[in-house]
Amino acid sequence: MTSNPAELGGVITSGTGGVWRVLGDDRNEYEAVLRGKLKTAPAMKLAVGDRVRLERDTRERGWAIVEILPRTSCLARRAPAGGGERIIAANIDQVIVMFAAAKPEPHPRMLDRFLVIAEANDIASRIIINKIELVGGGEVRDRFADYEKAGYPVHFVSVKQRVGLEAVDSALSGRTSVISGPSGVGKSSLLNALFPGLGLRVSEISESVNKGRHTTVGAFLHPLPGNDGGAVVDTPGLREIGLWEFPIAKLDECFPELRGPSEACRFTDCAHVSEPGCSVRGAVDTGDVSRARYESYLKLRREIEEQAND
């Protein structure tokens, strides 16, 4: 590659329209604007994580994004009031949902909601429980046993005591991960502990969004040090993501442990509430499916139904 290329590939690291920041394949940072006539068809809305092709453009006095490459995945939310789909980030390999064992108290229903959003987008997730030194190790493992049983990898860590960080480090390596979770759980502490010098400011970003700025879904992609291609994307939070217009028939699939039982229900459109021959309720009664997760499922289901009736 020449030192002054006229075209190169890269990945979008930030931007909300107008000027986009691009990490070039040569590891340099570029600013670029979207060329009006994209070579991509059909036209896609650009998002953080998108792989693009840049061309030097003398008329536009800089770089132009001339092509958006096909996405391997897409983390999207539905905007309320018919706003359509909003892309939060593209080409995401995994969603990492982080909670604290205490301070703040974990909120399992919120955790379930994050997992459903990832499942609905066909993106793998893993869970990190931080601050385990504040509670007994055995107790915290019991509290999250439902998730391990459902197949989610769960990491129990203490950033403060540097416990369990190696496993998180290798889980992040070589992948593009979205880090989400409520504020105060230690997301920026974790990333700064693993990657000193990355200068992540997760809390600041969420603060600025709370001020109601226009940049509602400003995600930032931070390439990780090293050459394995790993990156973390922090976003103002999946918390604001609603399940608007979520196809209710898809909800069963978003709870991995319900997939098997729900296929065995007598009625194919079983809502698993009070229908006869419901295998999901059967599995809850025998303890094969966690009651807490089942109740979470019912709650999300009601929520989606209510929104559909609005």
Footprint on this chain of ligand GDP (rule: CB under 6 A)? 130-131, 133-134, 158-160, 183-189, 202-203
Q: Is 272 in the site for Zn ion (CB under 5 A)?
A: yes
Contact segment (CB under 5 A) with Zn ion among 99-107, 143-151, 173-181, 269-277 equals 269-277
Q: Is 283 in the site for Zn ion (CB under 5 A)?
A: no
The residue (of 63 and 144) whose beta carbon lies closer to ligand GDP is 144
Smallest distance, ligand GDP to C-beta of residue 165, A: 10
List the single partner that 202 binds among Zn ion, ligand GDP, none, CB under 5 to 8 Å by kind.
ligand GDP
List the single partner that 280 binds among ligand GDP, Zn ion, none, CB under 5 to 8 Å by kind.
Zn ion
Q: Is 289 in the site for Zn ion (CB under 5 A)?
A: no
| Of the residues 265, 283, 284, 289, which one makes contact with Zn ion according to CB under 5 A | 265
The residue (of 235 and 262) whose beta carbon lies closer to ligand GDP is 235
Distance CA 53, CA 70 (A): 11
The residue (of 113 and 187) whose beta carbon lies closer to ligand GDP is 187
Smallest distance, Zn ion to C-beta of residue 270, A: 3
Q: For residue 307, what are the CA distances in angstroms to 27, 120, 304?
A: 45, 17, 5
Contact segment (CB under 5 A) with Zn ion among 6-14, 130-138, 197-205, 270-278 equals 270-278
List the single partner that 278 binds among ligand GDP, Zn ion, none, CB under 5 to 8 Å by kind.
Zn ion
Q: Which residues pair with 65 in a beta bridge?
A: 34, 54
Q: Which residues pair with 100 in a beta bridge?
A: 130
User: Two tokens at 299?
Assistant: 């709650």
Q: Is 133 helix (H, G, I), strand (E, B) or coil?
A: helix
Smallest distance, ligand GDP to C-beta of residue 133, A: 6
Closest CA to 7 of 24, 31, 27: 24
Q: For residue 21, what are the CA distances in angstroms to 137, 217, 220, 222?
A: 42, 15, 10, 11
| Helix residue ranges, H only, the chain | 108-120, 137-143, 145-149, 165-172, 187-194, 202-210, 256-263, 279-286, 291-309
Q: Is residue 36 within 8 Å of 2, Cβ to Cβ? A: no
The residue (of 16 and 189) whose beta carbon lies closer to ligand GDP is 189
- The two most distant CA atoms of the chain are separated, in Å, by 70
Q: Give the side-chain half-sphere CA count within 13 A for 18.
A: 4
The residue (of 194 and 270) whose beta carbon lies closer to Zn ion is 270
List the single partner that 296 binds among Zn ion, ligand GDP, none, CB under 5 to 8 Å by kind.
none
Smallest distance, ligand GDP to C-beta of residue 71, A: 27
List the single partner that 189 binds among Zn ion, ligand GDP, none, CB under 5 to 8 Å by kind.
ligand GDP
Smallest distance, ligand GDP to C-beta of residue 187, A: 3
Chain length of the chain:
310
Q: Give the side-chain half-sphere CA count within 13 A for 21.
A: 12
Footprint on this chain of Zn ion (rule: CB under 5 A) = 265, 270, 272, 278, 280
